[in-house]
Amino acid sequence: MKLIQIAAIAGLAVLFAGLVIGCNPPAEPTTGETGNPGSAAKADYSGQKLDIDGSGTVYPIGAAFTEMFLGANPGVEITVGKAGTGAGMEKFEKGETMISNASRPIKDSEMEKLAAAGIEFIEVPIAYDGICIVVNPKNTWLKSITIEQLNKMWNQDSKVKMWSDVDPSWPKEEIKLYGPTDAHGTYEYFNEVVNGKKDNVRSDYSQQAEYDTLITGVANEPNALGYVGYAYVEQNMDKLRIIPVDGGKGPISPSKDTIIDGTYAPFSRPLFMYVSKKAMDSSTLCKDFVMYCLGENAAAGVEAAQYIPFPAQTYGLIKVRVEKGMTGSLFSKAEPGKTLDEVLAEAH
């Protein structure tokens, strides 16, 4: 996947800025006895607990790996939450979690807070995702959409009410816009790409704290348009229709191939886990879980969540960094045009 630069008015030059989930639901402990057995060696994790929170987009991946890990280690207590990327980072900064899932690279401001709190972190890319533009299946006339048209709909100064306000050839019907709240990394990513700044967005759209309710809204409204991560669309193909996006080189539909090779630009992106270095050094449960996610089960866990795994060689490069305990972020300021492998290889 090619890294892309997102221009932000506030001086950001970050890649793959994501959307943050707006709600902060309580994390639910997962201690079940079932799951697909994995290859994690059975160990004594008595008295240990692993707390994970953060991105709602990454949540299905964390949940899938947790179920698999528990298949090999029944009775272990792992809590996986979906407070949102930003909210998850706040918990991470307070030392309330060992792993913070994120649908975008960590921000400078977040790194500063972690440094002030004395928390070192290891950056772990875990899977590919693509933000999908979706409409109700009854909308059969919209064949593709451009970034400029999305901007016309979504920017904070937008006067668009009808589809025909965007393009006169489109129906004179009121658009119903659905999107996540500002707690989501996907919200940030989408607005950075479409509107040039994460907070440059109209306030009168239907703001959803949960992706499931966003999907339900689009599914129930013939004139709806929304955006959501690839895995959520894959799980709801009977309720939604994906719209190809023209990022400047013609309309491209999101797929495993177009997300991996970066042609689904500018909406293809990597997803991350940020892991406490202290937890990796002191908790065998945390260390074993992270290494399990990067080992031979990596692709199976990501695919179980209906996301797109990296090639095995990419997981190998990530695993080397984790094993060496290499801290800090490579991707918050990665050079535009570099592939994940190139960024990882150059850092070794």
Helix axes 340-347, 312-323, angle to 10 degrees: 30
The domain limits of the chain are: 5-129+268-347, 130-260
Residue identified by tokens 């875990």 is 126
Cβ(2)–Cβ(339) below 8 Å: yes
Lowest mean pLDDT among 139-148, 183-192, 202-211, 291-300: 183-192
For the cut 70, the answer to whether the pLDDT of residue 341 exceeds it is yes
| Position 319 pLDDT exceeds 80 | yes
List strand residue ranges (DSSP E) for the chain, in order.
Answer: 5-7, 13-15, 19-20, 28-30, 49-54, 77-80, 99-102, 121-135, 145-146, 176-180, 184, 206-208, 224-229, 241-243, 245-246, 251-252, 268-276
- The model carries a pTM of 0.80
Q: Which residue has the higher pLDDT, 130 or 11?
A: 130
For the chain, percent of residues with pLDDT exceeding 70: 87
Written as six digits, the tokens of 123 are 């950056």
Residue 28 pLDDT level (bands cut at 50, 70, 90): very low
* Integer Cα distance of 76 and 34 in angstroms: 11
The architecture of the domain spanning 5-129+268-347 is: 3-Layer(aba) Sandwich (3.40)
Over the stretch 75-124, which tens digit does the pLDDT of each residue have?
Answer: 899 999 999 999 999 999 999 999 999 999 999 999 999 999 999 999 99
130-260 adopts what CATH topology? D-Maltodextrin-Binding Protein; domain 2 (3.40.190)
